[in-house]
């Protein structure tokens, strides 16, 4: 299958390693990969902050870039939820019937990364090895919008050497919420403090998730507090351990 990667704007600029890891995992599974350089952003920041009109051109741009793909894989559940929950509505507000139709045609081909592996490809064991104590933070959108359920956990359980530690109140938000973390910085920080305490209580060395946005938020505090807990996107864990065996890129 020819898979197209939508890296997302913040992963592109801040977390390129996640994108490399997605490429690594999927190519190892034997899929052709492409990256369309015209891509920018899904429009979530504008939409969720109330800049609805401003989000529409960004959405239109996304649809134009990916209209003809076989599958788009996105290592960010919140961007996927933006598309599934809000794209049609945005196009309707704009009164663009053609855009509505294009979105309806494109949506079934859009996948979050872990969802693509398990639901589309039927793969749980990607042959990774990661000998570390890890805890998993279930991001809000992965749970309540994409309904990923235990998909990321199933993937983690197949990773060699990985010691998965359950976290308390896994279902509670880390407090990021995009511009919420700035507009309501105090409340966001209080929510983060609870989440960080739960992460630290697991004794894990690494906290993982399917969204780097939550992880950026968590690590912001873990680093400020000078803890030794790191964060890593699920894709980076799944890309670990077999790079050596594989030698050079496929």
Partner 1 sequence: MSQVQEAHWNRRDFPEAAREMLQNSQTRKNVQHATNIIQAKRNKVVAEMPDWEDLREAGAQIRAHTLRHLDHYLTQFEENCTRAGGHVHWASDAEEARRIILELVEQQQAREVIKIKTMTSEEIGLNAHLEAHGIQPIETDLAELIIQMGKDRPSHFVVPALHVNRAQVRELFQQEMHLPEIGDRPEDLATAARTYLREKYLRIKVAVSGGNFLIADTGGMCIVESEGNGRMCLTLPDVLISVVGIEKVIPSYRDLEVFLQTLPRSATGERMNPYNSTWCGVHPGDGPKEFHIVLLDNGRSPILADKEARQTLQCIRCAACLNVCPVYHQTGGHAYESVYAGPIGAILTPQLQSMQEGRSLPYASSLCGACYEVCPVKINIPEVLIHLRGKVVRQDQATFSGKLSLWNIGMQAAAFLFADAGRLAMAEHMGQIGQKPLVSKNGFIEWMPLMLSGWTQTRDLKAMPAQSFRDWWAKERMYPSNGKRPHAG
Among 132, 133, 144, 154, binds partner 1 (CB under 8 A): 144
- Binding to partner 1 (CB under 8 A) within 62-91 occurs at 85-86, 89
Q: Does residue 61 interact with partner 1 by CB under 8 A?
A: yes
39 or 162, CB closer to partner 1?
39
Q: Is 248 in the site for partner 1 (CB under 8 A)?
A: no
Per DSSP, 160 falls in state B
Question: Is residue 235 within the footprint of partner 1 (CB under 8 A)?
Answer: no
Do the Cβ atoms of 207 and 236 come closer than 8 Å? Answer: no
Structure tokens at 200: 């630290």
Which of 1, 32, 35, 149: binder of partner 1 (CB under 8 A)? 35
Which positions ≥6 away from 190 have C-beta within 8 Å?
175
Does 230 interact with partner 1 (rule: CB under 8 A)? no
**Helix residue spans in the chain (DSSP H):** 9-14, 16-28, 44-49, 52-66, 77-94, 97-106, 113-115, 140, 151-157, 180-183, 185-201, 212-224, 234-238, 243-246
Binding part of the chain for partner 1, among 106-114, 118-126, 138-146, 239-247 by CB under 8 A, reads 138-146
Of the candidate residues 1, 50, 104, 157, the single one contacting partner 1 (CB under 8 A): 50
* Residue where the block lists tokens 């890129």: 249
Should residue 172 be labelled a site residue for partner 1 when binding is judged by CB under 8 A? yes
* Angle in degrees, 0-180, between the axes of helices 97-106 and 52-66, rounded to the nearest 10: 50
What does the binding site for partner 1 look like in residue numbers (CB under 8 A)? 7, 9, 11-16, 19-20, 35, 37-41, 43, 45-55, 57-58, 61, 85-86, 89, 140-141, 144-145, 171-173, 175-178, 180-194, 216-217, 219-221, 223-224
């Amino acid at each position: 299958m020819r898979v197209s990667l939508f890296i997302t704007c913040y992963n592109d600029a801040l977390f390129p390693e996640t994108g490399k890891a997605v490429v690594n995992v999927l190519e190892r599974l034997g899929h052709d990969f492409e990256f369309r350089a015209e891509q920018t952003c899904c429009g979530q920041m504008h939409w969720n902050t109330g800049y609805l009109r401003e989000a529409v051109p960004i959405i239109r741009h996304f649809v134009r870039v990916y209209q003809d793909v076989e599958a788009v894989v996105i290592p960010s559940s919140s961007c996927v939820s933006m598309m599934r929950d809000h794209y049609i509505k945005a196009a309707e507000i704009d009164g663009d019937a053609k855009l509505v139709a294009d979105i309806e045609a494109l949506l079934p081909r859009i996948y979050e990364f872990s969802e693509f592996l398990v639901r589309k490809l039927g793969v749980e064991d990607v042959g990774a090895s990661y000998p570390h104590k890890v805890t998993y933070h279930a991001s809000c959108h992965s749970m309540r919008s994409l309904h990923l359920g235990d998909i990321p956990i199933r993937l983690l359980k197949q990773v060699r050497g990985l010691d998965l530690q359950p976290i308390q109140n896994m279902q509670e938000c880390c407090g990021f919420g995009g511009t919420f973390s700035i507009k309501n910085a105090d409340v966001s920080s209080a929510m983060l403090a609870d989440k960080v305490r739960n992460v630290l209580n697991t004794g894990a060395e690494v906290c993982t998730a399917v969204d780097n946005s939550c992880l950026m938020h968590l690590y912001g505090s873990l680093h400020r507090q000078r803890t030794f807990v790191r964060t890593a996107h699920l894709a980076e864990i799944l890309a670990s351990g077999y790079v050596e065996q594989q030698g050079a890129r496929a």
